[in-house]
């Protein structure tokens, strides 16, 4: 089931919205509409203004949307610099904790990673500072109701942009400050060790935040859980990258792979799988690959129908292929990105092998040992 949908593109980057974003947008809109408090000289929310609840909620929605536009600009800052360094951005997704840029590959160059990480908070600080100047200017005038609404709007947006920048500068991996920390450490030590240290520090910060949040603000606890598991996933992802470093597809693929005909029945395919011990095969017709079939395609086909249903009726015609000279990590990423458990290995139009999840996982396990 798709959990996010694309709403457009900016500088060629797909912008997506996760379903959880709708929840946080509604919560922020209600909070801005119903509450009003002062902090560090800012007035936040429209709750104390002499306007109807409907108008308050409408204003809350507008400010909530503008706030997440600012979050999007924060992420676009990261993405723009990432692209400038030659790395691909698969998209930006807005979700319950803000936004995240899906980068094809995190730069191993510490200076590049530091530049990418710091630009997001820099964008938020710039936006917050400009909005604060406007807020301060408006507050010099005594107030009609319209000016009060404009003042609260600019003050709220200025405060939350500065808060966003401040939060992201906390050295808790994998948020921006944690990436700056890893980049700094990587200038002095091995990249893998720098990641482990930054990840461990991030987990420590997350645990502190979680405990603090239990007593003061549960929202901090939820954010802490996100940081903790994010740090764990980043460390695992790096472990995979390091394990597959300098490994080619041809080193771990299954060569001379068995193939099947599109006119073979599913009954015969089932027997063929049992005899040859593989769970997926390329489908070849007239010496040309026309699709792929796996044990998953047998599911839902009753045994009483397996004699009459042919492979060509269930095979996947839009198969994915990769070169034997490609890096194994690229095969891993392609399979993960496309939710596919195997790739056809082709060279000069000829099928020379197949690479599956089990091949990749076996290689990772062997490297780790």
Beta-strand (E) ranges in 302-366?
321-322, 342-347, 350-356
Token match 């909005």: residue? 131
| Residue 177 CB contacts under 8 Å (≥ 6 apart), including other chains | 117, 121, 168, 169, 170, 171
- Positions annotated as catalytic residues are 75
173 vs 167: CA distance, rounded Å: 12
Token match 């600009």: residue? 73
Tally helices (H) and strands (E) across the chain.
12, 12
Contact 266, 309 (CB under 8 A): yes
Give Cα separations from 115 to 71, 173, 234 (angstroms).
18, 16, 19
The DSSP 8-state label assigned to residue 3 in this structure reads -
The HSE-up count of residue 307 (CA atoms within 13 Å, CB side) is: 1
284 vs 351: CA distance, rounded Å: 10
């Amino acid at each position: 089931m798709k959990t996010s949908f694309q709403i457009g593109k900016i500088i060629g980057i797909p912008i997506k919205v996760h379903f959880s974003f709708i929840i946080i947008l509604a919560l922020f809109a209600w909070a801005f509409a119903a509450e009003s408090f002062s902090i560090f000289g800012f007035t936040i929310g429209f709750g104390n203004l002499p306007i109807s609840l409907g108008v308050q909620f409408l204003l809350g929605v507008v400010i909530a949307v503008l706030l997440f536009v600012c979050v999007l600009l924060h992420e676009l800052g990261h993405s723009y610099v990432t692209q400038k360094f030659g790395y691909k951005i698969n998209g930006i997704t807005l979700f319950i904790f803000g936004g995240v840029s899906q980068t094809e590959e995190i730069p191993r160059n510490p200076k590049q990673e530091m530049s990418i990480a710091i630009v997001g908070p820099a964008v938020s600080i710039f936006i917050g500072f400009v909005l604060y100047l406007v807020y301060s200017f408006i507050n010099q005038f005594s107030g009609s109701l319209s000016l009060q609404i404009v003042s609260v709007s600019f003050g709220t947006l200025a405060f939350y942009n500065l808060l966003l920048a401040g939060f992201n500068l906390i050295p808790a991996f994998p948020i921006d400050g944690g990436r700056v920390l890893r980049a700094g450490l990587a200038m002095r030590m091995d990249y893998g060790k720098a990641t482990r240290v930054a990840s461990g520090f991030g987990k420590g910060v997350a645990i502190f935040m979680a405990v603090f949040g239990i007593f003061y603000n549960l929202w901090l606890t939820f954010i802490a859980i996100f940081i903790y598991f994010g740090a764990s996933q980043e460390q695992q992802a790096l472990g995979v990258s390091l394990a597959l470093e300098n490994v080619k597809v041809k080193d771990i693929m299954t060569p001379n792979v068995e193939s099947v005909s599109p006119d073979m029945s599913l009954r015969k395919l089932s027997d063929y799988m049992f005899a040859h011990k593989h769970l997926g095969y390329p489908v070849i017709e007239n010496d040309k690959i026309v699709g792929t079939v796996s044990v998953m395609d047998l599911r839902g086909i009753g045994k009483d129908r397996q004699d009459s249903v042919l492979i060509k009726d269930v095979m996947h015609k839009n198969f994915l292929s990769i070169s034997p000279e490609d890096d194994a990590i690229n095969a891993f990423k392609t399979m993960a990105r496309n939710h596919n458990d195997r790739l056809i290995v082709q060279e000069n139009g000829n099928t020379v092998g197949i690479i599956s999840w089990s091949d990749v996982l076996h290689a990772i396990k062997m490297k780790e040992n």
